């Protein structure tokens, strides 16, 4: 499957338990990319297979209390939507203490 540079908008914020994130529109290219990665490396599912579905998102704040997440949301909301061109996927791996970038996969 060939991937190409894609324009994406992030019109709204959403939350997981302790994560504030932006939802991409369209989300389908990211879902297809995730599915292709899982097909290629089924032994390494997103988030270690902890979740039934990998939800496309751009993390804004992580691992802070509700008050901090709300404060960040209040700061970010007036600047939405954010628009960007997605030109590459960055592969990160968690090493037990922190996430580290392992590869940059340019689209194209």
Tell me the pTM: 0.82
Q: What is the pLDDT tens value at each position of the chain, 108 positions in all?
A: 566 778 999 999 999 999 999 999 999 988 988 998 899 889 989 988 999 899 999 999 999 999 999 999 999 999 999 999 998 888 888 888 998 999 888 886
What sections of the chain are H helices per DSSP?
A: 28-40, 66-76
Strand partners, 94: 99
Buried b (16+ CB within 10 A) or exposed e, 84-97: eebeeeeeeeeeee
Chain-centroid distance of CA 7 in Å reads: 15
| pLDDT for position 82 | 96
């Amino acid at each position: 499957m060939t991937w190409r540079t894609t324009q994406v908008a992030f019109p709204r914020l959403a939350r997981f338990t302790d994560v504030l994130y932006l939802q991409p529109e369209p989300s389908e290219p990211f879902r297809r990319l995730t599915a292709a990665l899982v097909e290629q490396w089924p032994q390494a599912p997103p988030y270690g297979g902890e979740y039934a579905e990998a939800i496309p998102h751009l993390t804004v704040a992580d691992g802070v209390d509700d008050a901090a997440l709300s404060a960040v949301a209040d700061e970010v909301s007036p600047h939405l939507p954010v628009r960007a061109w997605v030109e590459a996927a960055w592969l990160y791996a968690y090493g037990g203490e922190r996430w580290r970038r392992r590869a940059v996969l340019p689209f194209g």
